[in-house]
Each structure stands twice: as structure tokens, then as C-alpha cells.
Chains A and B, each alone.
Chain A
Amino acid sequence: MAQSVLKVVDIKKSFAGVEALKGVSLEIAPGEIHCLAGENGCGKSTLIKIISGVYTADAGYIEFGGRSYQKITPIEAIMNGIQVIYQDFSIFPNLSVMENLAFNTELADKRVLVNRKRFRKIAEEAIAKIDFKVDLDAKVKDLSVADKQLVAISRALMFNAKLIIMDEPTTALTKKEVSALFKIILALKEQGISILFVSHKLNEVFEISERFTIIRSGEKIITGNTSDLDDKKFSYYMTGREFEDLSFTAKNVEEEPVLEVEDLSLGGCYENVSFSLRKGEILGITGLLGSGRTELALSLFGLKKADSGNIRINGKEVVLDSVAAAMENKIGYVPEDRLTEGLFLSRSIGENIIISDLNSLSGRAGVYDFKKKKSAINKWVKELAIATPDPDNACSTLSGGNQQRVVLAKWLARDLDVLILNGPTMGVDIGSKHDIHKILQSLAEKGLGIIIISDDLPEILQNCSHILIMKDGRVTARLDPKKIREKELSEYMM
């Protein structure tokens, strides 16, 4: 093996007595695409920050092209060809693409006066490197997430980068944009640039990387060739748990549908959508971003009233024009964005659980029955195994998976007929994902009608009894998950 671009040896780092990294080593060869994986909070972000000089390690050392450092500054890291593209991209949204690209060079050259012509030249060179077509005068805030990312990549390349670290670059990208990004990564590899790709998505790890390293609670679990990795091993290395296979078959399905949707349309969002859901079934709805799936869910929850079409609950026609109306009809909704739509982060876990069911916990004039309140909170914390020492703690103290259970508990505390989940396991670690799937399946078995909206195809295939594909606001296919594989499913979506 040629001399490595980056070698990290036995790095240790603690914060306030908590060991975030317990001696992690990592080596990256020139032109290698290396995937760094691990659950949230495992220490991978800390490791990246040490490599880029933001944090200083307590012990261990870093080698760049053979020169070893005990500690480095961010400037030294950049001089050694290390560039990090953070999740938020660290670009200036109010400036134009050109200004964003030329800004650092101008600063590095210690220029006092700016020159628009020189700006444009620098910027044009930068985007040419990855063959990126963009209007240089557009404001960055108006670009799509994918284009913003390309601006950040172009900027990273301007500094003779030898290693580009991408921190979960695919989180906010659509499928198409992800494949475009992967093409660019491969092109960079051709130029001899190494990529350290941080992700916890299994399929991405398989698709793009040659070697991988998995970190779990601050320790390196394994480094190896991606070709030796499979599904089961990956989950095991990530979590230290073995998972049984959970394939859902609908049992206890009722005769009559609980929810019927007929020719539902909403201008500019979706058209002529029809389906029916029976208690005991799990319906999967999938499609690309912008296919109308989220708007459909919002309509069923009374947040975006449909223009035309019928909705029937237990055979009776209903008008869903407010959340209250949806709740009256025993519909619950777990929203797409847990942090902004689902949770009251700084309030207690208990309050978050009971917020939609306050009326049944209080007497006249809304005066609490404290006994009932307490027992309701404890019941759901226990039932969904929410990991907390005290439900009075703020919701922000929980991990993503546990937060999602809180959102789930909020709806289960009510007596529901239909539960709609939009991205039920987005940003949730593998262990919790598995548990949430198990919970959903057992809820269906107990006679709840469930709709899962997700672009996590394995999730849809594993948990649903039938699948609707949406494209440009229309239902384009109805599939049986037992008779289809992931690859075909994703072809239907395109």
C-alpha cells in the first residue's frame, strides 16, 4: 500500500469525564473511498473534528503524508489537504455562488479590495473541476440542498484537497441527487483524492465505499473491505445486537375497511388518489420527494384540506378540515420532522406524551386528575421502553429513537383507529428502528390501521401488507411486498 494520506493512531478524547473516543485508529490510502459508520453518539463526529483540528485529542497522534502531529489547528489541517464538508455545509446563504467560492481564496491572499472579475474567474475554475453547472450569480439560499452541497465540494477542491471528509452528505438528498453525488465522488477518486464518507445508511456504505470502519461507543469495532460485509454483519457491528427477521404478515384483518379514500385531489399536490385500509393492515406509501405523499398525509390529518374526492371512516363520509376533526375520527399522525413538528423538546417527556390526550386526564374546567396523569405517563414510558430515569426530564435529553417513541406514545395514548406515520424511523439508530418496527407490527395485530410513508424501501418491504407508489401526485402502482424486491421497487419510483 502506498503511503497513507491520513493515519490516526490511538486517539482518545473525553468531554467532562465522559469518554467519547477510547483509542481509535484509522488509515486512509490515496484515492480510497472509506466509509466511517456508527450510530448517533458513537464518536464519529468527534473523530472528524479531531482530524480537522477543531478539537485536540487527549492522547494519540495524527499523521499526514508521513508527518505526525500531536495536535493540529484547523489551518494546519487545511494546509495538509484535509477538507471537511459538514452537514450544514458552512456556506453563506445570503451571498452568491461566486462570492462563496472566491471568498476564502481572497482571504487567504490577504486582499483588501475585491475585484468582481477575479472573483468570477476563481469561481469558474472551481466549478469546472467537478463539471458543475450553476448560475454563479444566484444566491446560495435559493439553491437546492444538492446544489448547495456541490458548492461546498467545489470550494473544498480549491485548496488542493487530498482528503475530503463528508459528514452524512446524503441526509437531505433525493435518490437522484445521491446518485449524482456518488458519480462526483468516483470522479474525485480518479483524480487521486480520498474520501472519508460518514454515514449510517447501509446501502450507501455498500454502494460507494471500498473499505469501511465502524465505531461503536467510542471504540473501533472493525475495519475491513466492504465486499466482506453484509446486512446482518453491518447491523451487528453497529449495535452489538443480533436482530431477528421481522417480516410482516397481516393477521386479524377486519372485513370492512376503516379508511376509504376515493378520488382525492388537491391542486398542485396530488390527483385522484384512491385506496382503502382495513384494521390490522399496514399500508406503505412511497415515492420520491415531491410525489405528493406528504401532502396526502397532511390532508388525511386535516392540515391541508383536499379540493375534491371522498374520505370515509368506518363507512361514513367525513370532512377532515382540521386536526380536531381528524382526531375526532380517531386518526393520528406522526410527522416527518420530529424535532420541529412532533416534539416540544425543552418540555418534559411526560408532558410530550400526554399533550394530545389532556381531556381524558382532567375533570371539569380542565383541572388535572394528577393520579391519572402520572399513571398514564408511566404506562407509556414502560410500554414503549422509553429509556429515561425520570419522565420529568426534558425531551431533549433523549436519543432520536427514544424521541420517536415519545411521538408514538403521544398518539397511542389516544384510542386510535388509524395511525399515519411519515418517515417513522428517519434519523433513528438501528436498534430503535428495529424496536419501532416491532411495535408497529404488534399494533397492527391488535387491530390498528397503519399507514407508513417512507422512502426507506427495506422498511416498506418488511413492514407493509401492501404498497402504493406515488409519482407526480398520482398513484402509479399498487404492489404486494411479498412478490417484489427492492430493486424493482425503486425502478417503479423513478
Chain B
Amino acid sequence: MSGKTDKASFLKKLYSRDVHISRLLIMLAAVLIVMLLLKPEKFYSIANFKTMAAQFPEFGIMALGIMLCMITGGIDLSVVGVANFTAISSGVVLKSMVDSNGNLLGYGIMATLLFGIMIGAATGFINGLLVSKIQIPPILATLGSYELFTGIGIILTKGKAIADLPLEYSELITAKLLGAIPVQLIIFVLMACLIAFLLARTTYGTRIYMLGTNITAARFSGLKTGSLLIRTYALSGICAALGGLVMLANYNSARADYGTVYTLQCVLIVVLGGVNPNGGHGRISGVVLAILVLQMLSSGLNFFPQISNFYKSLIWGSVLLIVMVMNYSTENKSAKRVKAA
């Protein structure tokens, strides 16, 4: 009998070691089991997994940027605007990189990618300035810059899509390495690893966690809060730009209103991943897990024709609120435990 309680308490301990991650693992398992019972042959096919792996990187990379901003106690709602703006301007650059015969120049793709990343860094820099120097609340600053970048995108394209891009770009980014691993996924994994490294192994990581916990104490401790915020928003801008560059390849075109649902979805992912919206706490493993859960949920829903796309927003909204309520109750519990001790 004692063996049983031991096991139970062991599981409990494992669960409470990181409640967010445990909860995500349970959700992931639940989705996998439901799909196994209801749509095994469709969901568990190589084709489906390939599709999923090519789909999530575009918003997954953007979510990584939002996570960084949320760790500092802010948020970046401009990611989709930055992504589209990057995709449009990079598309223009890409189209101009052809020789007189209409062939793409050798360095064309490299130059386009670099250009896109610089656009991302610059837009993020502007966000950072607005947040740190002018001290506009991040939610307003980035909502404003979202409209701004989208607006520039609309003017550049006159509301139409930028199409007829040289095919080489799209072919490269959507290629499958070894016939299975999409390049989009590799870009996502590289970015996730870079950010994981920054957070766990560098002083920059510690600094933004501390800044997000208490900005006044950060100032009194000699942290350069302004430059930290600017760097963080610039990094988020780069993430968003990479997302935009992936979108440009996926659709082989760019428009100012692609992926508008991603804003809410990315915030949902970050919160679901256990990042504290008030700043100071959050792990990249949680966010990556949340991305996977959401992608599988979304792909899974596609196999049920009776649930139309109209329901998606309703489902995302409910999941977001339920997660916030659950986070609130776990935080209260742990606060009580600290008080009692």
C-alpha cells in the first residue's frame, strides 16, 4: 500500500515541479490519444507530420519574440505587422535581384534574407525606443506600430499581393532536407536554440528576467534598462522578420493582411507556455511545447469536416481564457504555500 502512495506522491512531485510543462504534456498526450482513437490513419501519417512541421515555424518564430518581450514585462503585438512588412519589402528586393535575362542573381537569396532581418531589427528597435525612452505602455506602443507597419505595407502594395517572385527563394525555404525535414523547421529550431542559450547561459538572460520582475530594483542595481529593452524588442523584431521571410516562401507571395490571426495565436502560445504576462518568469521549453500542442490541435480539427473554420477563433479564445484561469489558480496556491511556510 505504501508503494502505491509513494508512486502517487512521486507523480505529484513530478507534476508540481513545473506545473505549466506538466499541464502541456498532459494536453499533448490528450490530443494525441483523441486523434489515435478517432482519426488514426489520417493524423498519424507521414504526410500530415510533414505538413505540420512546415506550418508551425512561421508563427512559432514570432511567438518566440513575444515570449522575450513578455519576460521583460511587456508584449509585442506588432509581430504580424513586422512580418508582413518584412515579407513585402523583401519581396520587392528579391524581385529586383534578377539579371537582364530574368534569372536570380547568385547572392540574391542571401541578400534578401539579410535585408529582411535588418528590417526586423530596425522595426524592433523602434518598438524598443517607444517602450523604453518614451515609456509608452508596450501593449499600446506595439499595437500602434502594428498598424503603422501594416499601413506601410498596404501603401507599398496598394493593397494587392506581391507575386511573381523568382521561384528559387521559395524552393529553397520550403525544401525538405533528406526528403523529410522542412527548412522552415530548421530555421525555427536554430532560433529556438539561440534564444534558449541566451536565456539560460548568458547574463543577458538573467538581466531580462530580473528587469521583468522589478524594473525599479533593476535600475537601483545598475542595469541599463533602456538598452536591455531596446535589444529585446529588436530581437523580437528579428524573430518576426524571420517569420515573415518564411511566410513569403510558403505562399510565394506577400500581402499586408496575411496571417492576421497569428497575433492572438502567438499570445495564446506564450501564455499557454507558462510565461507570466506580468514579466519575470517563463521558459522556452514551455513555449515550444505550447506551439506543438496548438499546431496538433489545429491540424487535428481540420480532419473533422463538421467543425468548420468558423469555430477556430472561438476555440482559441476559450483556450486562452481557460489557461489564464488555471495559471491564476496555481499561482494563488503557490503563494499560499509560501505564506504558510
The interface of chain A, by Cβ under 8 A from chain B, is: 15-16, 18, 301, 303, 323-324, 326-327, 333, 335, 340-347, 351, 354-356, 358-359, 361-362, 365-368, 394, 396-397, 410
Task: Determine which of B202, B204, B222 lies in contact with A327 in the assembled complex, contact meaning CB atoms within 8 Å.
Answer: B222
B340 at interface, CB cutoff 8 A: yes
List chain B residues, Cβ under 8 A from A359.
203
B309 at interface, CB cutoff 8 A: no
List chain B residues, Cβ under 8 A from A327.
222
Q: Let me know if B341 and A397 touch, CB within 8 A.
A: yes
B178 at interface, CB cutoff 8 A: no
CB distance from A373 to the nearest CB of B (A): 9
List chain A residues, Cβ under 8 A from B16.
none
Which residue of chain A has the shortest Cβ distance to B200 in the bound complex?
Answer: A368
CB distance from A322 to the nearest CB of B (A): 9
List chain B residues, Cβ under 8 A from A351.
206, 209-210
Given A323-B219, A324-B224, A327-B222 in contact, is the A358-B213 Cβ separation under 8 Å? no
Q: Let me know if A18 and B340 touch, CB within 8 A.
A: yes
List chain B residues, Cβ under 8 A from A358.
203, 206-207
B281 at interface, CB cutoff 8 A: yes
Q: Let me know if B202 and A340 touch, CB within 8 A.
A: no
List chain A residues, Cβ under 8 A from B206.
351, 354-355, 358
CB distance from B337 to the nearest CB of A (A): 8
Q: Let me know if B201 and A396 touch, CB within 8 A.
A: no
Q: Which of B206, B210, B280 has the most CB of A within 10 A?
A: B206
CB distance from A404 to the nearest CB of B (A): 14
List chain A residues, Cβ under 8 A from B338.
394, 396-397
B221 at interface, CB cutoff 8 A: yes
B217 at interface, CB cutoff 8 A: yes
**Given A342-B217, A356-B222, 11 extra CB contacts under 8 A:** A18-B341, A303-B219, A323-B220, A327-B222, A340-B217, A343-B214, A351-B206, A351-B209, A358-B207, A366-B202, A396-B338
Given A341-B220, A356-B222 in contact, is the A361-B203 Cβ separation under 8 Å? yes
**Whole-angstrom distance between the alpha carbons of A81 and B217 in the complex?**
43
**Whole-angstrom distance between the alpha carbons of A356 and B218 in the complex?**
9
The interface of chain B, by Cβ under 8 A from chain A, is: 201-204, 206-207, 209-210, 213-214, 216-224, 280-281, 338, 340-341
Which residue of chain B has the shortest Cβ distance to A335 in the bound complex?
Answer: B220
Which residue of chain A has the shortest Cβ distance to B214 in the bound complex?
Answer: A344
**Whole-angstrom distance between the alpha carbons of A279 and B171 in the complex?**
69
Given A303-B219, A346-B213 in contact, is the A368-B340 Cβ separation under 8 Å? no
**Whole-angstrom distance between the alpha carbons of A75 and B202 in the complex?**
56
**Whole-angstrom distance between the alpha carbons of A359 and B224 in the complex?**
13
**Whole-angstrom distance between the alpha carbons of A394 and B335 in the complex?**
12
CB distance from A99 to the nearest CB of B (A): 31
Q: Let me know if B217 and A367 touch, CB within 8 A.
A: no
Which residue of chain A has the shortest Cβ distance to B225 in the bound complex?
Answer: A323
Q: Let me know if B224 and A356 touch, CB within 8 A.
A: no
In the assembled complex, 30 residue pairs joining A and B whose CB atoms fall closer than 8 Å, in A order, are A18-B340, A18-B341, A301-B220, A303-B219, A326-B222, A327-B222, A341-B216, A341-B220, A342-B220, A343-B214, A344-B210, A344-B214, A344-B218, A346-B213, A346-B280, A347-B213, A347-B280, A351-B206, A355-B207, A355-B223, A356-B222, A358-B207, A359-B203, A362-B202, A362-B203, A366-B202, A368-B201, A394-B338, A397-B341, A410-B221
List chain A residues, Cβ under 8 A from B203.
358-359, 361-362, 366, 368
**Whole-angstrom distance between the alpha carbons of A340 and B214 in the complex?**
7
CB distance from A447 to the nearest CB of B (A): 22
**Whole-angstrom distance between the alpha carbons of A358 and B211 in the complex?**
14
**Whole-angstrom distance between the alpha carbons of A340 and B220 in the complex?**
10
CB distance from A237 to the nearest CB of B (A): 25
**Whole-angstrom distance between the alpha carbons of A355 and B204 in the complex?**
11
List chain A residues, Cβ under 8 A from B201.
367-368
**Whole-angstrom distance between the alpha carbons of A233 and B213 in the complex?**
41
Q: Let me know if B280 and A344 touch, CB within 8 A.
A: yes
Which residue of chain B has the shortest Cβ distance to A355 in the bound complex?
Answer: B221
Task: Determine which of A15, A344, A356 lies in contact with B340 in the assembled complex, contact meaning CB atoms within 8 Å.
Answer: A15
Given A358-B203, A397-B341 in contact, is the A347-B209 Cβ separation under 8 Å? yes
CB distance from A451 to the nearest CB of B (A): 16
List chain A residues, Cβ under 8 A from B210.
344, 347, 351, 355
**Whole-angstrom distance between the alpha carbons of A323 and B218 in the complex?**
11
Smallest CB-CB A-B distances: 7 pairs: A358-B203, A366-B203, A344-B213, A366-B202, A16-B340, A323-B222, A356-B221
List chain A residues, Cβ under 8 A from B280.
344, 346-347
CB distance from A349 to the nearest CB of B (A): 13
List chain B residues, Cβ under 8 A from A341.
216-217, 220
List chain B residues, Cβ under 8 A from A323.
219-220, 222
CB distance from B213 to the nearest CB of A (A): 4
Which residue of chain A has the shortest Cβ distance to B197 in the bound complex?
Answer: A367
List chain A residues, Cβ under 8 A from B341.
18, 397
Q: Let me know if A346 and B219 touch, CB within 8 A.
A: no
List chain A residues, Cβ under 8 A from B219.
303, 323
Which residue of chain B has the shortest Cβ distance to A15 in the bound complex?
Answer: B340
Given A361-B203, A397-B341 in contact, is the A324-B222 Cβ separation under 8 Å? yes
CB distance from A391 to the nearest CB of B (A): 14
**Whole-angstrom distance between the alpha carbons of A361 and B205 in the complex?**
14
CB distance from B339 to the nearest CB of A (A): 8
Q: Let me know if B223 and A367 touch, CB within 8 A.
A: no
CB distance from A474 to the nearest CB of B (A): 26
List chain B residues, Cβ under 8 A from A326.
222
Which residue of chain A has the shortest Cβ distance to B198 in the bound complex?
Answer: A366
List chain A residues, Cβ under 8 A from B224.
324
List chain A residues, Cβ under 8 A from B221.
355-356, 410
CB distance from B340 to the nearest CB of A (A): 4
**Whole-angstrom distance between the alpha carbons of A365 and B203 in the complex?**
9
CB distance from B297 to the nearest CB of A (A): 31
**Whole-angstrom distance between the alpha carbons of A362 and B206 in the complex?**
12
**Whole-angstrom distance between the alpha carbons of A394 and B209 in the complex?**
13
List chain B residues, Cβ under 8 A from A344.
210, 213-214, 217-218, 280
Which residue of chain B has the shortest Cβ distance to A361 in the bound complex?
Answer: B203
**Whole-angstrom distance between the alpha carbons of A427 and B204 in the complex?**
33
List chain B residues, Cβ under 8 A from A342.
217, 220
List chain A residues, Cβ under 8 A from B204.
366
**Whole-angstrom distance between the alpha carbons of A342 and B216 in the complex?**
8
CB distance from A366 to the nearest CB of B (A): 4
Q: Which of B214, B216, B218, B338 has the most CB of A within 10 A?
A: B214
Q: Which of A16, A323, A355, A356 has the most CB of B within 10 A?
A: A355
Task: Determine which of B202, B207, B213, B281 lies in contact with A367 in the assembled complex, contact meaning CB atoms within 8 Å.
Answer: B202
